[in-house]
Amino acid sequence: MPDAAPAPNVAPTLPTDPSTALRLIRSVSRWFVGALGIGFGVLAYVYLTLPDVRPLRTANPPTTAFIELRAREARAKGQPPRRVQRWVSYGRISPDLKRAVLAAEDDLFWQHEGIDFDQLQQSFEKDWALWRFARGGSTITQQLAKNLYLSPSKNPLRKLRELIIARRLEAELKKARILELYLNVIEWGDGIYGAEAAARAYFQTSASALSPTESALLAAAIINPRAMNPTHPSNGLIRRQQLILRRMGVVSPPEDVAELR
């Protein structure tokens, strides 16, 4: 018995009734306009609720969103918030610490305008592959924006605010001022904020007198300052310190240098 002839492929057809086609067009148009309106509303909300960064040109922030978050966490545990912080100017921070932090966190800091698009793309690709927000890829300017004004969450809306604030910081402040702010507000241990407090807590010296090895150790701890104690460095912290020192040119680089990020 011969094989039955395959059924012909029948392409879907659009409605031929003019009234049905018109309803379909109206439905798609309403959906498009609605989505456009929601998107515009989100962008307007983000823009209108952004902080004014211009006072940071001359005034130091009395606190930060991150410091207040740590204070709330302490109170939730029934503990008094701890805050040790001594503000120092850009010129009173060791050049070695500046180099070490840039080597560890953002080696293109002086070149980009707040956002490292190559790192941002790599971050997006890794997050997409893992189906979660995993890789950071943030510049120092982005980290400062998050530290000053935002939460540590990684939701897309918070990330959008971070990117816009970073660009505002770059537009309103000099690069040296951005780095000065960053080095004075970041966490360097439980209740320890800024380079001066960290230098005195761990090395009994000032931020201006930090050596290259001390600077590299502090920079290595930024990734997890509550778990990595420069006074009693773990093997992992020492390995990061050595990588940072190589990037600083303090020791000869090995044939294969692992990535810090």
Place of tokens 């702010």: 181
Distance CA 175, CA 190 (A): 28
Per-residue pLDDT of 222-260, as tens digits, reads 999 999 999 999 999 999 999 999 999 986 444 434 444
Closest among 99, 105, 109, 106 to 214, alpha carbons compared? 99
Distance CA 12, CA 130 (A): 36
> pLDDT category, 25, cuts 50, 70, 90?
confident
30-34, 90-94, 168-172, 222-226 — which is least confidently predicted? 30-34
CA 35 to centroid of chain Cα atoms: 29
Residues 249 and 242: beta-carbon distance below 8 Å: no
C-alpha torsion 227→114→247→224, nearest 10: 0
Which residues does 99 contact at the CB level (< 8 Å), separation at least 6? 215, 248
Q: Is it the case that residue 149 has pLDDT exceeding 60? A: yes
Bigger pLDDT: 117 vs 158: 158
Residues 182 and 67: beta-carbon distance below 8 Å: no
- Under DSSP, the state recorded for 84 is E
| pTM of the full structure | 0.77
pLDDT at residue 13, as a whole number: 55
Distance CA 203, CA 187 (A): 16
Distance CA 88, CA 80 (A): 25
Please, what is the average pLDDT of the chain?
83
Closest among 56, 39, 81 to 177, alpha carbons compared? 56
How many CA atoms, within 13 angstroms, populate the side-chain half-sphere of residue 245?
Answer: 18
State the helix-helix crossing angle for 140-149 and 175-185, rounded to 10 degrees: 50
How many CA atoms, within 13 angstroms, populate the side-chain half-sphere of residue 50?
Answer: 22
Distance CA 58, CA 49 (A): 22
Bigger pLDDT: 237 vs 40: 237
In the numeric block, which tokens belong to residue 15?
A: 């409605």
